[in-house]
Amino acid sequence: MIPASAKAPHKQPHKQSISIGRGTRKRDEDSGTEVGEGTDEWAQSKATVRPPDQLELTDAELKEEFTRILTANNPHAPQNIVRYSFKEGTYKPIGFVNQLAVHYTQVGNLIPKDSDEGRRQHYRDELVAGSQESVKVISETGNLEEDEEPKELETEPGSQTDVPAAGAAEKVTEEELMTPKQPKERKLTNQFNFSERASQTYNNPVRDRECQTEPPPRTNFSATANQWEIYDAYVEELEKQEKTKEKEKAKTPVAKKSGKMAMRKLTSMESQTDDLIKLSQAAKIMERMVNQNTYDDIAQDFKYYDDAADEYRDQVGTLLPLWKFQNDKAKRLSITALCWNPKYRDLFAVGYGSYDFMKQSRGMLLLYSLKNPSFPEYMFSSNSGVMCLDNHVDHPYLVAVGHYDGNVAIYNLKKPHSQPSFRSSAKSGKHSDPVWQVKWQKDDMDQNLNFFSVSSDGRIVSWTLVKRKLVHIDVIKLKVEGSTTEVPEGLQLHPVGCGTAFDFHKEIDYMFLVGTEEGKIYKCSKSYSSQFLDTYDAHSMSVDTVSWNPYHTKVFMSCSSDWTVKIWDHTIKTPMFIYDLNSAVGDVAWAPYSSTVFAAVTTDGKAHIFDLAINKYEAICNQPVAAKKNRLTHVQFNLIHPIIIVGDDRGHIISLKLSPNLRKMPKEKKGQEVQKGPAVEIAKLDKLLNLVREVKIKT
């Protein structure tokens, strides 16, 4: 047992500690916090307060650990977004999903010190601070002056000599203090790097221009007027006025209205045609652009492609097919004529007809451009088949056409209507058989346009355009020499020669060649209408084409349905070169860039390119360019571009590009310039002809 005296002193300090704690609380409330405050409160035991909905867990449950992994992925971001793929044509899920979630954003207005705006604000603050300091200095100097005034009054009279100097010094100091020194203003450029510049334009000197027109011609006349003459003049004028009034009365109001309506219709039609012309021009440009995009690969080949294999084959070339031209309205018609425009190098004219006399129907004249292979630029139709055509050299908008019914016509591309501007008739001397070829010639002495035509009726006719009419003159009538038939009455009949082709000499205007169905070629002159200059037994079948060489004045070429192509010197009656192509030859053409290159097309669908300088025995290119069923009828070289166009009997025109071996130019030699020009081409062909002539002389 513990004595009472021992327990009492143990309880007493506890009470003291409580009283001390209460005292410290009062001191804290009165004087603020002190070091070591609240130590007794932390020493006391604290009871935990549980919320009413807290679960009561056992010690095992409390000791159990739960692991949670925190990731940067947004739990609300969708994981199944799909988008359409135009490349594969299906919907595909997106692999990457944006996991960023923005909880708080704030737009700040802090400006870097080194920026232009920061420098500008700093400079503005310096100006404000400097102005405030100057105001303070002025106020302090004012107070000092007030304090010094009574002291100056107390000065002695003997010191009056020093007063002016002191006053002047005070004035200087006052002026310096009154005008505070402002810092020099520094020009700052703005954030757009603006630079201010000024310039004064040059005023052009004023010039006065004066001109004096020629005075109008003057004539002096005089006459005497009597009273009866004046009276007669007045009477005539009154009669005219009465007649006009009667005519107006005769017109009914309905007629007047109809006349007004007709005038309105005419004006509206004119405005509509103007609008349509503008629209058609824009549509034509758009059509060309669309076609250029559609046939872009062909256009690239036409401009840049060259067969690289030509470097490894010396004497062989190829033809690269380019555009193919055809029209639905010209189906089942044959290509009967081809001709490039002499001015617009991408434009060429095509004649449609039929060589089968049992299937004669209609004809068409189309003009295509390489810029738009899908549709022709111009289209003209005729009741009879077009057998030949030719473009005028000086007037490229004029096209002369020969028809199967014997008529000739001139089409003007400037006029929109589809009918020819000029056309022959039975009264004006048209041919009685098909016109196989037409050629423009130089204007006559009166500057009238004229062209020639040849037909199966044996007539070669010169057509001249005089006063908007076609006037004909028979130049020559072909006759078969050495064959006459006797009539029972004792008369002799000369059979007529059927002309099929002709060509005029490039330098000698009066000389021309004529090919006939009998296989003969006649050298004729415009001056002699009854006699031939020379006759060549050229072929065993009809002569299809006769063509002078564009460089050499003595050389011409002919082709025939007897499968042969022959090259002639018009001073020699035997051919210089003969080529057998194993099929009927439809057409031949000289190349414009070389005197030794020419092309030929045959009815088995092949195109043949010859270069006599490389190989004078056979073609350097034999290539089928159409199906075997399609017979090739015509071929033409472009005047500038290295391409040819070929037509067949199904109405198709195919453009082909010549490979580098087919258009070889003379090679450059070290230290020597390459010689070009007509003289070089003439010498090149003369060299070949001399070799042939020497062989013929020896034999």
| pLDDT value for 187 | 61
> Would you state the structure tokens that stand for residue 368, as one six-digit string?
């295509």
- The residue ranking higher by pLDDT, 612 or 28, is 612
**Choice between 141 and 149, residue whose per-residue pLDDT is larger:** 141
Reply yes or no on whether the pLDDT at 15 is more than 50. Answer: no
Render pLDDT for 417-438 as a digit per residue (tens, 0 to 9). 778 888 888 888 888 889 999 9
Residue (of 493, 483, 481, 499) closest to 432 by Cα position = 499
The count of domains in the chain is 1
pLDDT top residue among 185 and 651: 651
Q: Helix axis angle, 253-294 relative to 296-304, nearest 10°?
A: 60
Does residue 7 fall inside a structural domain? Answer: no
Asked whether the beta carbons of 539 and 519 are under 8 A apart, the reply is yes
Q: Is the pLDDT at 31 greater than 80, yes or no?
A: no
The reported pLDDT for the residue numbered 282 is: 82
pLDDT at 634 (0 to 100): 92
| Average pLDDT of the residues in 305-322 | 83
**pLDDT, position 260:** 61
Q: What is Dmax (Cα atoms) for the chain?
A: 195
Of 358, 440, 367, 355, nearest to 404 by C-alpha is 355
Return all residues near 316 (Cβ < 8 A) that are at least 6 apart.
Answer: 310, 620, 621, 661
Distances (CA, A) of 502 to 75, 460, 512, 557: 92, 9, 7, 11
Tell me the pTM. Answer: 0.58
Q: Is the pLDDT of residue 17 over 50?
A: no
> What would the pLDDT profile of 370-414 be if each residue is shown by its tens digit?
888 888 888 888 888 899 999 998 888 899 999 998 899 999 888
329, part of any domain: yes
132 found inside a domain? no
pLDDT band for 10, please (50, 70, 90 cuts).
very low
Please compute the mean of the pLDDT values over residues 299-319 and round it to a whole number: 83
Question: For residue 324, is it within any domain?
Answer: yes
Higher pLDDT, 469 or 491: 469
Q: How far is CA 227 from CA 139, 221, 232, in A?
A: 114, 20, 9
> Does some domain include residue 476?
yes
Provide the CATH number for the domain around residue 527: 2.130.10.10
Classify each residue of 118-127 as buried b or exposed e, where b means 16 or more C-beta atoms within 10 Å of its C-beta: eeeeeeeeee
β-strand partners of 656: 321, 644
% residues pLDDT > 90 (the chain):
12
Show Cβ contacts of residue 40 under 8 Å, excluding neighbours closer than 6 positions. Answer: 17, 21, 24
What would the mean pLDDT of 639-652 be, rounded to a whole number? 90
Decide if pLDDT at 140 tops 70. Answer: no
pLDDT in tens, 182-224: 556 666 655 566 666 777 788 888 888 888 888 888 888 787 8
- Say if residue 134's pLDDT is above 80: no
Residue 281 clears pLDDT 70, i.e. is over it? yes
Q: What is the pLDDT of residue 95?
A: 81
8 Å CB contact between 484 and 494: yes
More confident residue, 5 or 249: 249
400 near 410, Cβ under 8 Å? yes
- Give the residue, 106 or 672, on which the prediction is more confident: 106
Residue 485 three-state SS: strand
Q: Domain for residue 529, yes or no?
A: yes
Lowest average pLDDT, out of 42-51, 235-244, 420-429, 453-462, goes to 42-51
Question: What contacts 592, CB < 8 A, 6 or more positions away?
Answer: 550, 637, 638, 639
For the chain, what is the mean pLDDT?
A: 78
* pLDDT at position 116: 87
Q: Are 580 and 536 in contact (CB under 8 A)?
A: no
Per-residue pLDDT averaged across 342-353, rounded?
90
pLDDT at 33 over 50: no
**At residue 681, does pLDDT exceed 70?**
yes
Q: In which band, very low, low, confident or very high, does the pLDDT at 565 lie, cut at 50, 70 and 90?
A: very high
Provide the residue range defining the domain that includes 499: 301-482+494-665
**pLDDT of residue 252 exceeding 70:** no
Note whether residue 60 is domain-resident.
no
Inside any domain, residue 699? no
Confidence of residue 69 (pLDDT cuts 50, 70, 90): confident
More confident residue, 334 or 673: 334
For range 289-302, the mean pLDDT: 84
Per-residue tokens: 388: 């030949």
pLDDT given at position 261: 67
With residue 17 as reference, give the H or E element that holds it: helix 4-31
Pairwise CA distance, residues 599 & 594, whole Å: 12
pLDDT of residue 438: 92
Greatest mean pLDDT range, 27-41, 463-477, 539-553: 539-553
Instruction: Please report the pLDDT score of residue 89 as a whole number.
Output: 85
Give 374: exposed, middle or buried? Use CB within 10 Å, 0-12, 13-18, 19+. middle
Beta bridge partners of 504: 512
Residue 58: pLDDT above 60? yes
Position 2 confidence tier, pLDDT thresholds 50, 70, 90: very low
